[in-house]
């Protein structure tokens, strides 16, 4: 097992619950398995995963476990609840090697019967005035996106409704609109927002209430606007969230869940419960983005996913084989992730 640190500058600052960041730092993990070298990525994100220091310490322990035993020992040394990014890095490398050894793209390693060449993706539009929001969505639609997620919650509910009304007036009813409140609303505000957004054809609101208010999210369900949970999955098991019937949609981030295998398993479990999975990145390098893409590709009839985030980076670990065009991302059909481990560099 080999671990190399990297830092990638962002093309523009990224606002998170823990503050604004201007680079993504993490580790490239390589692991030899079944005669192949697999590559993975561990890129922790403040507020979502362990810290960079804890991730590095966990990978150091994992390296010792790899020297003393096999991949099972490494996985046991990496707790998905404690160090999800570190576990993601190793688990992705292991799965990449497995898929390479079997001669199949990773999504077919999850489901050998699947054939998937493209995955639908959404565009994300930040907070701005009604006219600027409408302009941004219009540009996304002109670029081929049929689904757009608009950030809300920084303004009043009435102001956000006005922004979404401007979008509808500009692009019409043929575009799927989602909203992401990042847990900003009270229950009363969320109820008013859902009532206003229903008239605007908003498909769902992502994290309308604080992460720990599962009962409040459950109360919001049942109307024309769905409830999607994202931050609520950080500190609790997905099974526990499903038991509360608090969500119509689960936003699944493989980096937060401890690896692509975990994310795929949870996506299928959600489907069994009638909850739709949407796969997203945490603004990662190309290795982790490809891992998330393969998870999405392994889900039949997957809804548009939040995978088109490569443009948030000013530099990357390798050339990206997954092209975004007309609102879809192409799925590499080469064995494994679709990127040659020897071409993954940490000196970008």
pTM: 0.96
2-103 under CATH 3.30.420.40, yes or no: no
For 336, counting Cβ atoms within 10 Å of its Cβ (0-12 exposed, 13-18 middle, 19+ buried), the class is buried
Domain ranges of the chain: 2-103, 118-340
Using one digit for the tens of pLDDT, what is the confidence trace for 39-76?
999 999 988 999 999 999 999 999 999 988 889 999 99
Task: Give the residues across from 9 on adjacent strands.
Answer: 23
**DSSP result, 80-116:** TTT-HHHHHHHHHHHHHHHHHHHTSBHHHHH-TT---
Q: What is the mean pLDDT of residues 77-93?
A: 96
Task: Give the residues across from 178 on adjacent strands.
Answer: 149, 204
Q: Is pLDDT of 121 > 80?
A: yes
For 23, counting Cβ atoms within 10 Å of its Cβ (0-12 exposed, 13-18 middle, 19+ buried), the class is middle
47 contacts: CB under 8 Å, gap ≥ 6? 16, 17, 18, 234
Report yes or no: 229 and 247 within 8 Å, Cβ to Cβ. Answer: yes
Measured distance CA(233)–CA(284) in Å, rounded: 19
237 contacts: CB under 8 Å, gap ≥ 6? none
Candidate list 71, 87, 108, 253, residue with the active-site label? 253
pLDDT at 30: 98
CATH of 118-340, one of 3.90.226.10, 2.30.42.10, 3.40.50.620, 3.20.20.120: 3.20.20.120
Report yes or no: 308 and 329 within 8 Å, Cβ to Cβ. Answer: yes
Q: Is 149 annotated in the active site?
A: no
Instruction: Extract the tokens encoding 11.
Output: 């093309």
pLDDT at 85: 98
Q: Is pLDDT of 306 > 60?
A: yes
Confidence of residue 269 (pLDDT cuts 50, 70, 90): very high
Using one digit for the tens of pLDDT, what is the confidence trace for 188-221?
999 999 999 999 999 999 999 999 999 999 999 9
CA distances from 310 to 8, 293, 306 (A): 11, 12, 11
Using one digit for the tens of pLDDT, what is the confidence trace for 225-264?
999 999 999 877 888 889 999 999 999 999 999 999 999 9
User: Which value, in Å, is the radius of gyration of the alpha carbons in the chain?
Assistant: 20
Q: Is pLDDT of 16 > 80?
A: no
Provide, rounded to the nearest whole percent, the portion of the chain with pLDDT above 90.
92
Using one digit for the tens of pLDDT, what is the confidence trace for 21-46?
899 999 999 999 999 999 999 999 98
Q: Is 253 annotated in the active site?
A: yes
Candidate list 151, 217, 264, 289, residue with the active-site label? 151
pLDDT at 12: 87
Closest C-alpha to 182, from 205, 148, 159: 205
DSSP state of 74: H
Instruction: Tell me the pLDDT of the chain averaged across its residues.
Output: 95
pLDDT at 69: 85
Measured distance CA(260)–CA(291) in Å, rounded: 6
Report yes or no: 208 and 157 within 8 Å, Cβ to Cβ. Answer: no
Using one digit for the tens of pLDDT, what is the confidence trace for 159-189?
999 999 999 999 999 999 999 999 999 999 9
**Residue 105 backbone dihedrals phi, psi, to 5 degrees:** -65, 155
Confidence of residue 346 (pLDDT cuts 50, 70, 90): very high
Q: What is the mean pLDDT of residues 296-324?
A: 97
**Residue 132 backbone dihedrals phi, psi, to 5 degrees:** -70, -35
């Amino acid at each position: 097992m080999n671990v190399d640190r990297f830092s990638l500058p962002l093309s523009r600052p990224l606002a998170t619950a823990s503050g604004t960041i201007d680079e993504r730092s993490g580790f490239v993990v390589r692991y030899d398995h079944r005669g192949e070298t697999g590559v993975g990525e561990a890129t922790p994100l403040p507020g979502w995963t362990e810290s960079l220091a804890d991730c590095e310490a966990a990978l150091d322990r994992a390296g010792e476990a790899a020297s003393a035993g096999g991949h099972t020992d490494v996985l046991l040394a990496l707790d998905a609840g404690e160090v999800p990014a570190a576990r993601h890095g190793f688990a992705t490398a292991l799965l990449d090697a497995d898929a390479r050894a079997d001669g199949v793209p990773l999504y077919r390693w999850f489901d050998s019967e699947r054939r998937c060449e493209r995955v639908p993706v959404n565009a994300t539009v930040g907070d701005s005035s009604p006219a600027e929001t409408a302009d941004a969505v219009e540009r996304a639609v002109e670029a081929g996106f049929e689904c757009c997620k608009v950030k809300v919650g920084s303004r009043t509910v009435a102001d956000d409704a006005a922004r979404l009304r401007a979008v509808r007036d500009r692009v019409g009813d043929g575009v799927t609109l989602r909203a992401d409140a990042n847990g900003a609303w009270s229950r009363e505000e969320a109820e008013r927002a859902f009532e206003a957004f229903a008239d605007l054809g908003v498909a769902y609101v992502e994290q309308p209430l604080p992460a720990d208010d599962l009962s409040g999210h459950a109360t919001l369900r049942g109307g024309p606007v769905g409830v999607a949970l994202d931050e609520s999955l950080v500190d609790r098991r997905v099974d526990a969230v499903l038991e509360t019937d608090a969500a119509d949609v689960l936003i699944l981030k493989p980096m937060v869940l401890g690896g692509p295998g975990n994310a795929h398993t949870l996506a299928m479990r959600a489907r069994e419960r009638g909850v739709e999975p949407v796969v997203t990145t945490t603004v990662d390098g190309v290795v982790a983005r490809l891992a998330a893409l393969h998870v999405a590709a392994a889900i039949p009839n997957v809804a548009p996913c939040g995978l088109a985030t490569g443009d948030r980076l000013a530099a990357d670990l390798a050339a990206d084989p997954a092209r975004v065009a007309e609102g879809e991302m192409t799925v590499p059909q080469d064995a494994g992730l679709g990127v040659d481990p020897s071409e993954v560099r940490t000196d970008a």
